[in-house]
Structure 1
Amino acid sequence: MLWAALQLPRDSAQRLDEQLHGLSIWALQFTPRVAVSAEAVVMEVEASVRLFKGRRALRDRVVQEAPDLGVVQVAWAPTAMAAVALARAGKENGVRRPLAEVLDGLAFGVLDATQPHATTLTQLGCRTLGDIRALPRGGISRRFGKDLLIALDQAYGLRPEVHKWVELPEAFKARLELPHRVDTAPALLFGARRLVVQMCGWLAARHAGTTAFALRWCHDTMRSKAAGEGGEIVIRTAEAMREVEHLCRLLAENLAKVELLAPAGDLEVEALEVHALEERSASLLPDQGQAGESLGLVLERIAARLGAHKVLRPHLCDDHRIEWMQQWQPAPERMVKRSPASGALPQPTFVFDKPLRLAVRNHRPMYQGPLQLLTGPHRVEGGWWHRVGTGDDEHACTVVRDYWLALSEHCGTLWVFSERLAQEETAWYLHGTFA
């Protein structure tokens, strides 16, 4: 067995309970076997080692992320009580040597069961756990009770431990009391980051991501009535994710544009929109394209700074009419992945905003000379449901066209269509070109 203990500093009872709850929720991303022990959170990770690519990789990730949640010491051992004892002693590794050899040298105060008997044990000349184990077991049981022996046996792996496992909540909403009042909105990021880390751990445990989460703050009680009780901002992403750094960057950009009406003392983060993520197996070969930040994340960060409607990106729609096959939408909005309408003809690289009407000679379209029709027709007919304008100017965007792939002697391949009108001669238009 492999246990990890994440120790928090001793604080007020209320704040410690909040920190332990948030830390335990975050730890559930590594294993479902998470429990609270005194001022520490313990997790059994033996079955998760392979999933996280080995003990070293798992250790590095925990040690890197845990300080954001206030963890002051991480320790590893074959039992949960041994891991907590090592964390209290300021030692991390308890798996390289035999467990008895590791624990015997620790001061006996690292076990809670020894605290009520600290004075008597000291008078008996005991300084370490090894000194207590050297005493006769019968005498220990008669003088100090069975609880001390049970605790020793559990720490040394001679008796099974009993834990109350933490359950993963269905929704995420976490609060944090700031250590001091904050006067500026950007300063809220320090405390908000801890809550975002907790949220991302909860999302990882649920194999999900978020497309919207809210940060709320409560104003100090000594405030003017006009300031109100607090404020709120909502952060949205185009795709469901749980990347701490990117979410914190978006949060920082939005907080930079907020002005606090009064000092804030409490924070709350709530996951508003949660979506299941499809886990994909990583490639066996290194992917150079994943080395930096993706374009989508960069656009979201720029949009958070300049404004959502100042950064646009194309969005494919289920529409056969080429003018409405693509639309522009704000980059932070969630992209609904749709497949564009496909036909028998290849689609042009460049599409004109307004089709150019062509001259016709001998029933053949002309564009810097006669055009040779290569492939077609590809009929597109629809749009009767699509109405634009208001009042007397309202009209339907109906199209009735036959598209052709045409060849021009001087301009190369062109995208043209004929429109069936109530005229003697069919009208031809140039609608796009190919790169």
Structure 2
Amino acid sequence: MLWAALLLPSAPDAESPPIDAVRGLSLWCLQFTPRVAIVEESAVVMELKASVRLFGGGKALRARVEEEAKDLGVTQVSWAPTSLAAVAFARAGVPNGFREPLDRLLDRLPMSCLVGVTRHEATLSRIGCRTLGDVRKLPRGGLSRRFDKELLCQLDQAYGLLPEAHERVVMPETFRSRLELPSRIEHAPAILFGARRLLMQLCGWLTARHAGVTTCTLKWCHDVMRSKTAGDGGELTIRTAEPMRDLEHLSRLLAEHLAKVELKAPVGDLELLADDVIPLEERSASLIPDPRAGDESLTLVLERIAARLGADKVLRPVTGEDHRPEWSVHWQPAPLPHPRQLARQDELPQPNFLLDKPLRLDTHENRPRFQGPLQLITGPHRVEGGWWHRVSAEEGATALNVQRDYWVANSAYAGTLWIYQERLADDQTAWYLQGRFA
């Protein structure tokens, strides 16, 4: 068995850490294994033997747990063959319970490392006991008669002589976690330090549920010593373009939003809620390393820029089901809706850039010219219709009807162009430049 015990610092006026912090830590642990339990409301233990291969081996798993646990405020992570032994090692500051035989390491620990023994520490110290090994040397019959059964039970479970039974942490259907800040915060960007811990808990919960979040809300409560006009607190909603559980991106996105917030009073408590949770389709890892795997996608980059400059400052094209080039693409603020909501693009070649207004071309012997003669490559592609769109004008309603033959043309100086031929009222034709290919 491979048990890990994680300890949080105790509150200044209490013997154990806040229960909200312990429960939040247990939610983060669920991403590694479902066998997570809270021991004596002060420590979180998890059994990781079955997860070693999944996370790249025991050494990699230990390194990841210990490194990420620091950001959650964990002061000690210890490893042992039993859960109570891991908790005892964590309280004694011993990180590795596998370097020597278990009984030899436990025998050297003080009695305060096991709660079942600590309750009788005063009595046991008067008869010369200082360590767990001293207690084990006492006659078992006398211990069972003079003390409660919890003392011997915890000793036997810690040493692996009796099976352990813990009430596992049940994964909640919704995520809601609170954090009491160690000191009052007066500037909104400083909230990110505490909010990142809540985001780590959220990402752990999402990983355990194989899901991602598209909307989450960060709430804060003002200090009780506040003005009447400040209110109880405030909140901030974060939205993402696609379901995700990327801690770094969520942190950067939150930082951009917090930079625009001005607190009305000092903040003492934070709360994070996951509003929209969507299941994710997991992708199998490739056996061939992909150097691009660590790059941030364009969607995430645009999302962060939109959070900084405003959604109306970052636009992306959305295709529509219309054969007229002027109406086939619409510009919407980023981020885009889900890809399944987008219309399919025409399979015919379309230009990368359209002119705001078509440019009439010069002709020679009814052949179009633009910086010299144009060579027609493909076409014609006839577009006719649009009578359903009308605009009001001073002289009356004008139909946006078009009758055009589109061509892909090549210019020796301007590159590949998108032009069309339009039939005029006097049975004449005119050529126009509509767009360019990149």
TM-score, normalised to structure 2, is 0.87
What residue number does 1:100 align with? Answer: 103
Sort the Cα spacing of 1:387 and 1:179 in 2 relative to 1 into closer, same or farther, 3 A. Answer: farther
Asked if structure 2 preserves the Cα contact closer than 8 Å seen for 1:214 and 1:271, the reply is yes
Distance 1:62 1:364, change over 3 A: same
Cα drift, residue 281 of structure 1: 2.6
Q: Which moved more, 1:423-432 or 1:139-148?
A: 423-432
Structure 2 residue aligned with 1:84: 87
Moved more, 289-298 or 129-138: 289-298
Correspondence for 1:264 among 267, 270, 276: 267
Query: Could you tell me whether the CA contact under 8 Å between 2:315 and 2:334 is conserved in 1?
Result: yes
**Residue of structure 1 in register with 2:2 after alignment:** 2
Q: Deviations over 1:123-153 (max 9, x none)?
A: 3332222222223322322222332222112
Please give the per-residue CA displacement for 1:213-245, whole angstroms capped at 9, x wherever unaligned. 211112223333322221112122222222222
* Residue in 1 that maps onto 2:427: 424
The aligned residue for residue 330 of structure 1 is 333
For residues 276 and 427 of structure 1, do their structure 2 counterparts lie closer, same or farther at Cα, with a shift above 3 Å needed? Answer: farther
Shift in Å at residue 91 of structure 1? 0.9
1:314-363, Cα deviation, whole Å (9 max, x unpaired) = 444555443344443333555536464132x4333433222233456776
1: CA distance, partners of 2:384 / 2:92: 77
Of 72, 75, 90, the match for 2:75? 72
**Structure 1 unpaired stretches of 5+:** none
Corresponding residue SS for 1:289? coil
Paired position in structure 2 for 1:112: 115
Unaligned runs of 5+ in 2: none
> What are the residue-to-residue correspondences of 1:33-432 with 2, within 5 Å?
33-38=35-40, 39-332=42-335, 336=339, 338=342, 340-343=344-347, 345-358=348-361, 365-367=368-370, 371-380=374-383, 399-407=402-410, 413-419=416-422, 424-432=427-435
Amino acid at match of 2:381: H
Amino acid in structure 2 at the alignment position of 1:26:
W
Call closer, same or farther: CA 1:136–1:185 in 2, change over 3 Å: same
- Once the two structures are TM-superposed, the CA of residue 35 in structure 1 deviates from its matched residue by 0.7
Q: Tell me, in whole angstroms, the C-alpha distance in 1 between the residues paired with 2:132 and 2:209.
A: 40
User: Which residue of 2 is the match for residue 32 of structure 1?
Assistant: 34
Matched residues in 2 for 1:267 and 1:60: separation?
29
Q: If the length of structure 1 is used for normalisation, what is the TM-score?
A: 0.88
Q: Which amino acid aligns with 1:161?
A: E
Which amino acid is 2:8 matched to? L
| Residues 236, 332 of structure 1: 8 Å contact kept | no
SS for the counterpart of 1:284 is: coil
Q: Deviations over 1:89-110 (max 9, x none)?
A: 1011113433223222222221
CA 1:98–1:419: 2 relative to 1, 3 Å:
farther
Distance in 2, Cα, partners of 1:394 & 1:131: 100
What is the SS of the residue equivalent to 1:152?
A: helix
Residue range with higher mean Cα deviation, 359-368 or 279-288: 359-368
What is the CA RMSD across the aligned residues, in angstroms? 3.1
Q: Secondary structure at the match of 2:119?
A: helix
Q: Which residue of 1 aligns with 2:21?
A: 19
SS of the aligned residue for 2:268 comes to strand
Question: Are residues 103 and 215 of structure 1, via their aligned partners in 2, closer, same or farther at CA, if it must alter by over 3 Å?
Answer: same
Contact 1:240–1:275 (CA<8 Å) still a contact in 2? yes
Bigger shift: residues 202-211 or 278-287: 278-287
Deviates more, 1:381-390 or 1:120-129: 381-390
Greater CA drift, 331-340 or 245-254: 331-340
* Inter-partner Cα distance in structure 2 for 1:424 and 1:434: 30
For 1:318 and 1:24, how far apart are their aligned partners in 2?
A: 49
Q: CA deviation at 1:8?
A: 1.5
- Shift of the 398–110 alpha-carbon distance from structure 1 to 2, 3 Å rule, reads farther
Give the stretch that moved more between structures: 277-286 or 315-324: 315-324
Aligned equivalents of 1:226, 1:363: Cα separation in 2: 75
Contact 1:237 1:333 in 2 (8 A): no
Which residue identity is paired with 1:16? P
Distance 1:350 1:180, change over 3 A: closer
Q: Within 2, Cα distance between the matches of 1:256 and 1:419?
A: 53
The one-letter code matched in structure 1 to 2:173 is E
Q: Conserved in 1, the CA contact under 8 Å of 2:21 and 2:178?
A: no
Q: 1:90 to 1:389 in 2, by over 3 A?
A: farther
Give the conservation status (yes or no) of the 8 Å contact 1:237–1:334: no
Taking the aligned partners of 1:61 and 1:244, their CA distance within structure 2 comes to 14
Determine the C-alpha separation between the residues in 2 that align with 1:390 and 1:132. Answer: 98
| Cα separation, partners in 2 of 1:386 and 1:104, compared to 1, 3 Å | farther
Cα distance in 2, alignment partners of residues 202 and 387 from structure 1:
53
Percentage of identical aligned residues: 62
Distance 1:210 1:364, change over 3 A: same
